[in-house]
Structure 1
Amino acid sequence: MKRREFVVKSGLASAGIVATTSALGAISCTTGFNKSFVNIAVIGTGGRGCGLIPLINNIDNLNVVAVCDVLPFRLEEGLAKTNNTAKAYTDYKEVLKDDNVDAVLISTPFSTHYEIAMTAIEAGKHVYCEKTLVKGLAEINKLVERVSASNLTFQTGHQYHSSRLYTHVVAMLKKGEIGNIKSFECQWYRKGDWRKPVAEPKYERAINWRMYKEYSGGMTAELSSHQIDFVGWVLDENPKKIMGTGGIDFWQDGRETFDNTHLIFEYPSGVKAHFKCLTSYIPGGYQIKVIGDKGTITLTTGMAWINYYKKPEKSKLTDVDGVSGATAPANYIPEKGMPIKVEHLDPSKQALIDFKDAVIGGTQPISNLETGANTAKAVQLALDAMYNEKIQYWQ
């Protein structure tokens, strides 16, 4: 199924069916924004929200005018990041009543995205919603319907979708630079136990919400979703079949979400994608390898390499360790190939710039409701495959 074949048919939501994107035509552009700057409120000032505020502070014509969190110490941290210039709120609904707020950035636990995003749209605010978009198939459908009926800019926070390096690589892949794509090998080995310190037991679930199924989609929603988004972007397809397994095998600490996940997606074109995610101290980090019939492209968060299925051209003749022969180019890495050099900003900063420009320009960003909703559905089906131990199919 092509990515644009998405639109929601409301009567099918209970069956988990998401169909074509004709409804999304209603949000192809926005109207009525007549300012040269955007005032934004950050809802959720935990690690991600507080991490984004300094980036916003360094973006022209994007201003943090309000911060909101239900935890007092988190709210204080967020306010401090604005040099105490923003308004502070403990109730996001009060933020949405503030006429000085043009847009909201939602960086709260996954389970809260739906309610906040829906309410923000109803309040007439432009929305930057951190990944993964929302939890649950029915909720995904309802949000698409609601945003489609508005003239507001909506961006999903898959920041690599905004990376100019990734954009360049996607263009290379679509032009057939490594031939026909056969598979993707994606990994994210997150060092440590993924747990944050808690000063008081009453804050355990609020701070370590990623550990609990009620609030979180675990590593699939928080980490692998970026790579799932990338594969769909490259192929312009949604997976037709999703298989997965996982477990709690590294950290016996009371968590509910898996500490290792293993997913296989099969796409209509026949391409297979593997997504492996671990929380431990295993070396390897973040990597995507795209395998074509003429070569491979490997990406990390900020670098990329291309490796054709042939020896690189000789750069010069020399003697190495007493052996006379030819050497490969100096910047050639045997396992990865030649670097792909593209000037690019930090992806999160670029994503915020893209959002600001989209709001002011009355457009939709590259990481929009459509791409975010497709990825969110794939994430939900992957969770269902793992937790129910049953293959899931894209209806």
Structure 2
Amino acid sequence: MERREFVKKSGMAIAGVSVATSAMTNLNIIKNIGQTVNIGVIGTGDRGGGLIPFINEIEGIQVSACCDILPFRLENGMKQVNGKAKAYKDYRALLDDKEIDAILVAVPFSEHSKIMMDALSAGKHIYGEKTLVKGYDAVRDIIEKKKNYKNLVFQTGHQYHSSRLYTSVVEMIKDGKIGNISAFESQWNRNGNWRRPVPDPKFERLINWRMYREYSGGLTAELCSHQIDFANWVLNEIPKEVVGLGGIDYWKDGRETFDNIHLVYNYPSGVKATYTCLTSNSKDDYLIKVMGDKGTIILDYTKAWFYPEGKPDKPLGNVDGVSGATMKWQEGRGIPLEVSHEDPSKQALIDFKNSIINESEPISDLITGSKASIAVQMGLDALYTKKLVSWQSEYDDWF
């Protein structure tokens, strides 16, 4: 299939959206229709479909519509829904549905910006999966447009930003538990080709869009973006420059995005943050190390450990900032920090619902998501050009 025909058939270059009424007319005020948020899931693949069961468990929000251009993906998404939901093949029709208060965008990376811009015009609250948008211009445009829709909640789907474990750890760090931060070391390693099964070759680029640069930011956007967002959050800074190397060195299967990446970001404070993603070795899987002159905190998906400089001879009597944290040393890992928390993805959806109902700003908002998006694009530019890429002063004017 020629690229032009593929794009036309896949809907990956849909131009425009016709909204029957103005955004203010379309916008449902949640408090006037009860405390239930009706959400439409746009993109019911692995991520979008995987979030529906979490939404089913949350009081005050329900999936009322699903949309996907692939019939079998749409069918699978609809099967996940508790209760009644409408099925749409065209996201524009879903946006025209006045009963939908909010949307969850979980489509290929290249399509985020178009759908989110149209959703703002349609007066919908937005939960936009990470990485927020692809490219610098898209970041600028979505920030500028959102200024005209201050009544709409816009949350970026960096779910660890909502994790109560992660927020507790950030508080510990900012309270000085590890001292002055020296560095971040992060990895997200897997051993597999990162492909999804394709029932028919004609769906290859639609399903395995992560392998193709036109649609994807590869490992940097799909995985490292979470950890980049975390470093920005902890430091309350944005990186001033980045260098990186990567390649297609193991999976010789026609992919265009790299199968391994190695990035180093430099922050204004002098802190360096390194990110490694492999697809040919899964040792230690996902880890973030925040290293300071008084200690190190190590995070995985749902657990954390504190490793003070100079291993103590006896259990510590207190671990500041984490209520109920255990003091028992775990050999090779440090002191486990036990914080009661929900699954990060579920917590992020709870936070989204609460922000809509309470008319409050989400913790992972458009601005934090946009800064992470710029950092991701800087990393991609560094990888593809093999040059140092710097933050440009014009980006500051967008916020």
Q: TM bucket by the smaller chain?
A: 0.7 to 0.9
Which residues of structure 1 form unaligned runs of 5+? 1-29, 316-328
SS in 1 for 2:189: strand
Instruction: Decide whether aligned partners of structure 1 residues 253 and 340 sit closer, same or farther in structure 2, where only a CA change above 3 A counts.
Output: same
Report whether the alignment pairs 1:194 with 2:194. yes
* Structure 2 counterpart SS, 1:190: coil
- The letter for the 2-side match of 1:67 is C
**Partners of 1:33 and 1:362 within 8 A in 2:** no
Q: What residue in structure 2 maps to residue 257 of structure 1? A: 257
> What's the CA shift string for 1:332-360, capped at 9, x where partnerless?
13432101110000000000000000001
Per the alignment, do residues 266 and 89 of structure 1 end up closer, same or farther by CA in structure 2, a change over 3 Å counting? same
Alpha-carbon contact 1:31-1:362 (below 8 Å) kept = no
Q: Note the 1:199-214 alignment, pairs <5 A.
A: 199-214=199-214
Partners of 2:147 and 2:223 in 1: how far apart?
27
Which of structure 1's runs of 4+ aligned residues deviate more than 4 A?
Answer: none
Cα drift, residue 192 of structure 1: 1.1
Number of the residue aligned with 1:377 = 374
Q: Which residue of 1 aligns with 2:104?
A: 105
Q: Residue 84 of structure 1: CA displacement?
A: 6.7
Superposed CA RMSD = 1.6
Pairing 1:157-196 to 2, within 5 Å after superposition: 157-196=157-196
Select the residue among 337, 341, 346 that pairs with 1:344: 341
Superposed, 1:217-236 pairs within 5 Å as 217-236=217-236
TM-score calculated relative to the size of structure 2: 0.86
> How far off its partner does 1:215 sit?
0.4
CA contact (8 A) 1:41 1:64 kept: yes
Q: How does 1:351-362 map to 2 (within 5 A)?
A: 351-362=348-359
CA distance in 1, matches of 2:59, 2:99: 17
1:117 paired residue number: 116
Aligned length: 354
Tell me, in whole angstroms, the C-alpha distance in 1 between the residues paired with 2:181 and 2:295. Answer: 9
- 1:386 equivalent to 2:383? Answer yes
Deviation string, structure 1 residues 148-202 (Cα, Å, up to 9, x no partner): 2212000000000000000000000011101000100000002311011111100
Q: Which residue of 1 aligns with 2:15?
A: none
CA distance in 2, matches of 1:370, 1:33: 24
Letter in 2 for 1:141: R
Alpha-carbon distance, 1:379 to partner: 0.2
Which of these residues, 363, 367, 372, is aligned with residue 366 of structure 1?
363
Structure 1 residue aligned with 2:35: 36
Of all paired residues, the percent bearing the same amino acid is 57
Deviations 1:219-247 (A, max 9, x none): 00000000000000000000001111100
Q: Which runs of 5+ in 2 are unaligned?
A: 1-26, 316-325, 393-399
Confirm or deny: 8 A CA contact 2:191 2:282 kept in the other structure. Answer: yes
Cross-structure match for 1:280 = 280
Distance 1:282 1:257, change over 3 A: same
d(CA) in 1 for partners of 2:280, 2:243: 23
Check conservation: 1:133, 1:373, Cα contact below 8 A: yes
SS in 2 for 1:276: strand
The equivalences for 1:312-331 within 5 A come to: 312-314=312-314, 331=328
Q: Is the CA contact 1:31–1:152 (under 8 Å) kept in the aligned structure 2?
A: no
Contact 1:243 1:265 in 2 (8 A): yes
Tell me the residue number matched to 1:145.
Answer: 144
